[in-house]
Structure 1
Amino acid sequence: MDKYKVLLVDDEEEAIEAIRLKLEWETLGFEVIGSANNGVKALELVERLQPDVVITDIKMPYMDGLELARALNEDYQNIHIIIFTGFDEFEYAKEAVHLEIEEYMLKPINSQELSECLKRLKKTLDNEREEKLNVKKLEHYFNASLPMFQTNLFISLIEGRITEADCEKFLAAYQIHMTGPLFGCAVFHTSEHHVPEGMNALLLSMSVEQEIRERIAEKWKSQMFTYLGNTVLVMELNSEEEAVAFTDDCDRFCRWAYRVMGAVVTAGIGRACDSLFTINQSYAGAREAVSYRVLYGTQRAINIGEIAPTEQEISVQSEDTKMHALFKTINLGSREEIEKAAQSEIEKLHRNAKTVSQYKLATMEMVGAFYRFCANNFIDFKDYCAEVENPYEKVPEMDESTLKGWLVNSAVAISEELKNARNTTSRRIVEEAKGIVRDRYMQPDLSLDTVCSELGVSNSYFSSLFKKETGKTFISWLTDYRMDHAADLMLETNEKSYKIAERVGYQDANYFSYVFKKRFGMSPSKYRTEH
């Protein structure tokens, strides 16, 4: 079997050579494929050589061992890291447990200890390799679990919890090959209150489910699963007319189930749709169709498109009163976008309200939606309803232009309040971070982690916030702040570069010079001379 590849990183060539010679690498199951004298060079070699293990010293120029470990964890999570550290750095190194270091070893390195460490590491690597190579085992597990994955996906689809972007990806991953061109949903409900004497309700339901599988699901191109106590079918259809034939088939099955099994089964069939992403609409129609059994009777199939076309349209349009688009623009949009969304709400209102009573009810629902939205955002709608004292009473009496003006003014006022609250919070956090830098820029351990910990925010949130407010990453801003102070000290004092480096938070004078030159285009000494 191939040996595991090791990259050695230390700024002392003698240390690297000593490690090469002290260990019987081949016997241990490893081979040294290269070495680097700093973290920057090590990253270049990692990308090119793809080692399994990186053994690195902590204290190095340009990029130390912990910074290297952090970079490897971000981009090469499969690489195992061993760190060498001096006694005075040991506690500092141990604090970096979140870097997932494999081992910390004190210098000078004992070859026996390092050999034992590599033996332990080889067992870990062997286990990882065995797991990766065991493709058949993974394939067997996936294939055995595939029906469960498929069922979970279809449940997510009928609940409307899958985004359009993810839908095709999941269908392909779970090997669901349904091409349509149309799709439909059917819900089979077996009554628990009409069970033949001597028969258990659960057993009867299971028997019906098995018969549905054999008589319906296998005949039609469909996926079948159980959800909320009902049997659900999602099927492919070639045309709208085929949905009629499917309904007839389900109707015959319901009558057969009662005649032969004594089971009272009602099948609800939803409208056909043109993609699996919108199958939740067909499922909603199928469930509604089942509920019509109280009017049309049981032991039959009910197609929602045949018996309740107008009711179905109204139920879909009732979602309009929630004003999702308008509330989204209040949160994120400009005044122009708010006005456009408000106009759309007015048009929907006038399109759907056929009577004065319906108009008044819809406008009252609109007011209620505003109250709920404001409450969810911890503000009082009374303060932002455009000086209308009793909106439930006054808004339904407004004409179209007055209603639009009220809607826009209220939405804009709420939007400004939300944006001000967000901006105030953002500015406060950024200013507090800058204050921490001003007070502690001279401390070498000041970092993104320490600032976020002190502010009580996550790294990702703070980083995006800081970049948005300042146009720079936090590390860039901290580095520039330190370099600006260093430049001032160069001109205002006669201190040597390494002293100035320490005063602005750099323990390594070489690295300080490297960063200074990157910032100002010249070395510290040349900067002092020229200025």
Structure 2
Amino acid sequence: MPTILIVDDEAIFRKGLRKIVESSSGSWQVVGEARDGYEALEMVESLQPDVLLTDIRMPRMDGLQLIQITKKRFPNLLVIVLSGFDEFTYLQQSLRHGVRDYLMKPVEREELFKTLDRLESELAKVQTTTEVYAAEPADARMIRQHVSEHLVAGLLKGYVNEGDLALLARIGLTFTEPNFACMLIKLDKDALDQERYDKADPSLFQLYIQQIVQELLDQRAKGFSFILSETEVVALVNVASQHEAGNPLFELSETIRRRMISLSRLTVTIGLGRTVSGIKEIPRSFQEAKIAQLHRLIVGGDRVISYERMNEGNEELAWNSTREHALEQLESSIHEGKPEQTIQHVVTFITSLCLQAKSPEIIHQQICKLLIHGYEEAEKLGLTKSWLGERTIQAVLLEICSLNSRAELIECCRSYLGRLSECIAYGQRHSDHDPIEKVIRFVNQHYQEPLSLKHVAEHVFLNPAYLSTLFKQRTGTSLVEYWTDLRVSDAKKRLVTSNEKVTVIAESTGFGNIRHFNRVFKSVTGFAPNDYREQARSLKV
């Protein structure tokens, strides 16, 4: 006996549909009625009906959202859509998700009977050869999904090796392209109607976001998405090209953002890390996606924030030489681990900032940017826990944005930035025995100056050839490649966010001459510097 589940937010329609179905000439059994998509999702899980008969317009989770999720989990479930809105967009979206029929309200009895008779015949044929639901046990699918999520989460943190990739391939998840990029997608909860959010299970919002992301990945790219936490969905995208100007991943992220709005009236913010080469570099892209996501507090939500482009269009404050010098001194004292100087420079910088900024929002933006840069440095050095303790950087930024007194801002920043400088100083004292840590710290501080392997090796009292081998073993990249990447990244930011001449940028980022800069920049990005600047600026959103 074929079974059917009826979903409609109006009781009178549910009861009427039940009577029509039960009066048909077939042997249909109505196994349940649901008031909205959330109830229906639970019933589909427990009752496993053969057919889902659902309305489109419903509160909380509508019919289209329900169809997307259930068809992903139960691909053999047959769906009939009902709608009182004769709109082509609903028909188009329904058919895209494999809906078998689309009926207009009020439902005509004979039309529904024809649809049920046809589906009953289809079910009878299918049941002679296989079960209606999955061709493999549900627990096997679940195990495969969990293993995939666990291994991909390991990729993000740098715990997975080539053998684990082989295991992923065995369970159907392959990464055939050489490059990767990470997206971090978060629901804009503050933009969501509170009643709508409170009535729902928060995990269902994340599940819905993940399904939309995976659907678009399947259509337009190669990748895997999963729910990382109660508030985050992550996507690992496998791409062929590492060129970033005109990055199609930004367009894919924009499509995800727009699709969320059009299908469900939900808005999301997407942090996009840079494209990296090889699985060992995946954690870097993931960390960059997290940093980009933090910039939501500066630029607002409902947008894609690319790590590569996150400072574009955010230069509302005209930097004079005095304040720029104060900022440079402050950042230098932090990075060099000099807490007393840091505390002094905080006062100078914030005082100058408050005197010349045009609005409180700009003051908060600049301080948040400074703290995010500090957080990025702490993450690289593994000092975030010792710096912030149990607090998150998000909580720190929200605290900053709640302050409207110059004295409070100075005191708060003295506390946080002074503590960060102390942690860096402590880390330096206790990592001096590690030559690679010393080399990384030295290069990070001096990459804008002329460097040579011999020069760096002398700094840590090692033979240049031995240092080169040791650095490659520890980091997976050569020392020259490491400082070249720093220089090119700095150059790309300055090309997009400033009007400096290319020759000035080349000299100030450590390249010996313009010809060398042009050759290296194009080999890394695929674009000449001026072409990169032009294309990146033309894509500003």
Please give the TM-score of this superposition, normalised by the length of structure 1. 0.33
Larger radius of gyration: 1
Q: How high is the TM-score relative to the length of structure 2?
A: 0.32
**Structure having greater relative contact order (Cα 8 Å, sep ≥ 6):** 2
Structure with greater helix share of residues: 1
